[in-house]
């Protein structure tokens, strides 16, 4: 069979959530199924590291999809022609975008539909496109794959989709994450936080990540405890806006907030492993991979009590209301002062994280692919 895959988010040194999902699942699937041909569809020059095996044929389709008009051109005008020319049997889209103009059977991986609940979190043009097309994509798809039970229920309710059409393929976690020894922890703190204990956040500064309330909670923590702790924010400074800048400028302890930028997996592992706690309090997530990454490193976790995060964290984290700054502050104070609680959460987290693997994610995604191929 000939399977076309939307791989436009496989960007060298710029992999984010969906990009990592695509990388981890497809690298396994194409190697395990040499009997099928995979056509990886890129919208710009690609890195050879993403051509995972001999049964992968990379194709560049212009134009680069940088805004909604180009999304429409790429998916509705360009892809149908490619599918017809290559006689594609199935189209797999790890970011959920489909071609409504094509009759090729398709699988949409819809990670979450935050844009339906918080449209103002995105640029107006992007939000308008998502809200206009994703319901159509959901109904067009032969099958839908999503990453949590929360997202499945949300898609069913919001788009009036039958549950039997949606498969759950939980996200995995990179095998390189693991605890490190005490001396390496000391060296990491010396390198990043002047040797002081620190709370850690990993991710983009997207509005739904709730950075403003996290910063305010940390400032309150500092005032309440008079501690020397730092807050490290790891990730690209995209989405930094006037609202965040104003919040940051008004902090009493802004000199204790450190923006590190993006870090390699090795550095990220050291940062997780050396942190006092991981503070991840978005108000919306379809999954939340950093929760599991932190747990795998033995780092105690504070996360939100809403959307998919309680499902992902299980009984191995402190849950807080992300809209209540005082709850976030109280959780920080609790973990800072309670060594036994930190040790308990560290142990529970390492055990819980073993439930998640990219091998299982890829296997479950392949089952969905097989189901559609059998119907072709």
CATH code for the domain in which residue 292 is found: 3.40.50.2000
Question: Does residue 143 share a domain with residue 83?
Answer: yes
The structural domain count of the chain equals 2
Provide the residue count of the chain: 376
Q: How many CB atoms lie within 10 A of CB 200?
A: 27
Residue 154 lies in a domain: yes
* Structure tokens given for 217: 């909670």
* pLDDT score of 97: 98
pLDDT tens per residue, the chain (376 residues)?
A: 999 999 999 999 888 889 999 999 999 999 999 999 999 999 999 999 999 999 999 999 999 998 999 999 999 999 999 999 999 999 999 999 999 999 999 999 999 999 999 999 999 999 999 999 999 999 999 999 999 999 999 999 999 999 999 999 999 999 899 999 999 999 999 999 999 999 999 998 999 999 999 999 999 999 999 999 999 999 887 778 888 899 999 999 999 999 999 999 999 999 999 999 999 999 999 999 999 999 999 999 999 999 999 999 999 999 999 999 999 999 999 999 999 999 999 999 999 999 999 999 999 999 999 999 998 7
Q: Which of 264, 327, 375, 364 is nearest to 21 (CA)?
A: 364
Question: 3-state class of 198 per DSSP?
Answer: strand
Question: Does residue 186 share a domain with residue 112?
Answer: no
* pLDDT score of 337: 95
Query: DSSP letter string over 118-138?
Result: -GGGS-HHHHHHHHHHHHHHH
Residue 278 lies in a domain: yes
Question: Does residue 154 share a domain with residue 228?
Answer: no
Q: Which of 334, 354, 343, 347 is nearest to 292 (CA)?
A: 354
Question: Does residue 146 share a domain with residue 13?
Answer: yes
Residue span of the structural domain in which 62 resides: 2-172+358-375
**Within the chain, where are the H helices?**
17-32, 68-72, 79-86, 114-117, 124-140, 149-159, 182-193, 211-225, 242-249, 265-274, 289-296, 309-313, 325-337, 339-353, 358-375
Residue 80 lies in a domain: yes
* pLDDT score of 108: 98
Residue 67 lies in a domain: yes
Residue 177 lies in a domain: no
Residue 240 lies in a domain: yes
Question: Does residue 6 share a domain with residue 151?
Answer: yes
Give the residue carrying structure tokens 């930094």. Answer: 240
Residue 209 lies in a domain: yes
* pLDDT score of 17: 85
Query: DSSP letter string over 300-320?
Result: -EEEESSTTHHHHHTTSSEEE
Question: Does residue 295 share a domain with residue 204?
Answer: yes
Question: Does residue 168 share a domain with residue 153?
Answer: yes
pTM of the model as a whole: 0.94
Q: Which of 111, 134, 112, 114 is nearest to 122 (CA)?
A: 114
Torsion of CA 15, 21, 23, 29, to 10 degrees: 180
Question: Does residue 213 share a domain with residue 142?
Answer: no
Question: Does residue 287 share a domain with residue 202?
Answer: yes
Give the residue carrying structure tokens 């339906």. Answer: 116
Question: Does residue 165 share a domain with residue 64?
Answer: yes
64 DSSP assignment: P
Question: Does residue 120 share a domain with residue 194?
Answer: no
Give the residue carrying structure tokens 């922890």. Answer: 185
Question: Does residue 321 share a domain with residue 259?
Answer: yes
**φ, ψ of residue 240 in degrees (nearest 5):** -65, 120
């Amino acid at each position: 069979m000939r399977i076309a895959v939307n791989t436009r988010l496989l960007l060298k040194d710029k992999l984010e959530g969906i990009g990592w999902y695509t990388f981890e699942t497809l690298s396994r699937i194409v190697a395990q199924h040499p009997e099928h041909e995979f056509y990886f569809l890129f919208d710009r020059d690609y890195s050879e590291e993403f051509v995972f095996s001999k049964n992968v044929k990379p194709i560049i389709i212009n134009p680069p999809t940088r805004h909604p008009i180009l999304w429409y051109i790429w998916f509705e005008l360009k892809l149908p022609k490619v599918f017809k020319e290559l006689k594609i049997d199935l189209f797999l889209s790890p970011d959920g975008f489909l071609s409504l103009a094509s009759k090729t059977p398709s699988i949409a991986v819809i990670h979450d539909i935050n844009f339906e609940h918080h449209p103002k979190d995105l640029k107006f043009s992007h939000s308008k496109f998502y809200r206009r097309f994703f319901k159509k994509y959901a109904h067009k798809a032969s099958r839908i794959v999503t990453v949590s039970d929360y997202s499945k229920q949300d898609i069913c309710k919001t788009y009036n989709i039958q549950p039997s059409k949606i498969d759950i393929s939980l996200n995995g976690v990179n095998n390189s994450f693991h605890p490190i020894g005490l001396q390496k922890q000391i060296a990491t703190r010396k390198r990043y936080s002047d040797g002081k204990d620190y709370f850690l956040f990993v991710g983009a500064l997207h509005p739904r990540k709730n950075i403003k309330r996290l910063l305010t909670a940390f400032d309150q923590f500092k005032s309440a405890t008079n501690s020397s702790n730092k807050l490290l924010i790891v990730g690209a400074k995209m989405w930094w806006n006037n609202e965040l800048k104003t919040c940051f400028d008004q902090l009493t302890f802004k000199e204790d907030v450190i923006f590190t930028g993006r870090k390699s997996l090795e550095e990220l592992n050291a940062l997780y492993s050396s942190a006092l706690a991981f503070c991840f309090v978005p108000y919306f997530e379809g999954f939340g991979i950093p929760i599991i990454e932190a747990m795998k490193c033995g780092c105690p976790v504070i996360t939100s009590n809403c959307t998919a995060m309680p499902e992902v964290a299980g009984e191995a984290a402190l849950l807080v209301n992300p809209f209540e700054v005082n709850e976030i502050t109280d959780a920080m104070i609790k973990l800072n002062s309670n060594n036994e609680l930190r040790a308990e959460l560290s142990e529970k987290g390492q055990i819980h994280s073993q439930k998640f693997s990219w091998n299982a994610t890829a296997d479950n995604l392949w089952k969905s692919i097989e189901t559609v191929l059998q119907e072709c």
